Amino acid sequence: MLDQILRTAPHTLNAEGEGIIAQFGLATDTAHATYEILANADMPWPTVKLSDGTEVRLDQAAYTKYRFSDNREDRKKVFDAFWGQWKNFEHTFGVTFYEMLKKDTAYTKVRKYPDSLTRALDNDKLPPAVYDTLIKQTRENLPTLHRYFKIRARILGVDQLHYYDMYPSLVKSDLKYPIDEGKQLMLDAVKPLGPDYASTMTEALKHRWMDVYPHPHKRSGAYMNGVAYDVHPFLLLNYNEDYESVSTLAHEWGHAMHSYLANHSQAYINADYPIFTAEIASTTNEALLLDHMLKISKTDDERMLYLGQALEGLRTTFFRQAMFADFEREVHTRVDKGESLTGVDITRIYGDILKLCHGDKEGVVKIDEPYTMEWAYIPHFYNQYYVFQYATSISAGSMFAAEILKGDPAARERYLNVLRSGGSAYPYELVKAAGVDLASPAPYQAIFARMNAIMDEIEAIQAKRK
């Protein structure tokens, strides 16, 4: 804490200046608040009629559900109607986002940082090289992502993949994993982390640390809360016995074990950890689970299920978040330089990056123009330079898992030390000391290699079926 105070002293104003900033802080969240009301409450949602005659009111929850539809015409209807409605409010969303960008630039100037990226990363002492390397490596390795899209097109049986073809599952499965089986699969998967980790998790699972099943009025998704220092972590799940639920179970217990180990190893002031390391613990567990499931799978169909979900996880957690990060850097940089942006400008900027990442020009994925409004749908953009950490975390998690699975006790101990350390050290330095330098190309090259290895196996299975 003292180091943080001294380190950020050049960016700290005198008492009067900090008081003025605090007062203005009460009013500078207006753009975000306005966005939240429009996007979540006041938006007049369209209605579409699906192929089975069902009429659906396309709010955000319905869009999330029906974009997975097996009927391609229904997916197109859903995308066209949903994004068309966002397009109707392009100017308003443009104003709220631009005002937020201006606010960030104002704080950057007042605190005497060279740019908004440096200011955002400085709280956790993250070098901008981490961000720059992530974007550079992602852009240089887009052929890996495009290879996945070509595999997706073949599996779905379409000649031209469109953006509305991104979400349907590659493999349909009726395999069920009751919660007790899911727990055992997770416990078996984390055995490479050593007996202490596994035994602690085994004991924790005997107690009611998690609410497992969905029920009326329960919030959706999954979540871990480990902020109560003297109390065990709490987990919220909506377990429905499919493989995704097992993967989510392992993911959330990765967070829980991170909190447990940090709380039992650090004093209160150093136990809490930043997002930069938080998602490493969860994605490492996911990688260990995938390795275990592939080892015990009995059929090619089962392997395809696990491999397909792993691919989609790499798309959404690495490539999609890196794409978002690319867009964030572009718009923040423009506003830092004094450029004004309208909703039309922002849509064009996002559309250019979206098309680049999906190979629109090369004919890999066709991006229809209404879908370039997607930037307005992402609430994380109002929390500047946040989402890139999902991409860096899965890269680090994949690299840690690969080393741990080689059976090297030293690699395992270095990883566990990251978890035990909590927030006692700056996160980039902590992860680097454990052997993963996220400012270097190595972790990103490792995740591209992992993705290509998964695709190699999928194509080998497909070749056997011809």
Asked if the structure places residue 29 within a domain, the reply is: no
Q: Which of 171, 76, 130, 57 is nearest to 391 (CA)?
A: 130
pLDDT tens digits, 208-250: 999 999 998 888 889 999 989 989 999 999 999 999 999 999 9
Asked if the structure places residue 318 within a domain, the reply is: yes
Beta partners for residue 224, in sequence order: 235
Instruction: Please count the CA atoms within 13 angstroms of the CA of 423 that sit on its side-chain side.
Output: 19
Percent of the chain with pLDDT over 90: 92
The tokens of 181 are what? 């089986």
Give the pLDDT band of residue 3 (cuts 50, 70, 90).
confident
Asked if the structure places residue 50 within a domain, the reply is: no
> Cα 112 to the chain's mean position, in Å?
30
The enclosing domain of 119 has a CATH number of: 1.10.1370.20
Question: What angle do the packed helices 142-156 and 442-464 form, to 10 degrees?
Answer: 20
Asked if the structure places residue 202 within a domain, the reply is: yes
Asked if the structure places residue 435 within a domain, the reply is: yes
- Which residues, at least 6 apart from 282, have a Cβ–Cβ distance to it below 8 Å? 250, 251, 252, 254, 255, 258, 393, 397
The side-by-side arrangement of strands in the sheet containing 223-225 is 210-211, 234-236, 223-225
Higher pLDDT, 218 or 180: 180
Distance CA 368, CA 354 (A): 11
Domain residues for the domain of 350 are 114-466
The tokens of 269 are what? 């002031």
pLDDT tens digits, 414-461: 999 999 999 999 999 999 999 999 999 999 999 999 999 999 999 999
CB 306 within 8 A of CB 454: no
* Strand extents, DSSP E, 125-262: 161-162, 210-211, 223-225, 234-236
Mean pLDDT in residue range 244-260: 97
Asked if the structure places residue 440 within a domain, the reply is: yes
Q: What is the pTM of this model?
A: 0.95
Mean pLDDT in residue range 140-158: 98
Cβ atoms < 10 Å from Cβ of 451? 23
Give the pLDDT band of residue 2 (cuts 50, 70, 90).
confident
Number of domains in the chain: 1
Beta partners for residue 211, in sequence order: 236
Give the pLDDT band of residue 368 (cuts 50, 70, 90).
very high
User: Of 140, 181, 252, 286, which residue is the catalytic one?
Assistant: 252
Query: DSSP states of 201-224 as a string?
Result: HHHHTTS--EE-S--TTPPSS-EE
Predicted pLDDT of residue 24: 86
| DSSP 8-state code for residue 402 | H
The tokens of 178 are what? 């009751």
Q: Is 252 a catalytic residue?
A: yes
Asked if the structure places residue 328 within a domain, the reply is: yes
Beta partners for residue 210, in sequence order: 235
Give the pLDDT band of residue 4 (cuts 50, 70, 90).
confident
Instruction: Please count the CA atoms within 13 angstroms of the CA of 36 that sit on its side-chain side.
Output: 9
pLDDT tens digits, 37-94: 999 999 999 999 999 999 999 999 999 999 999 999 999 999 999 999 999 999 999 9
Asked if the structure places residue 41 within a domain, the reply is: no
Predicted pLDDT of residue 220: 84
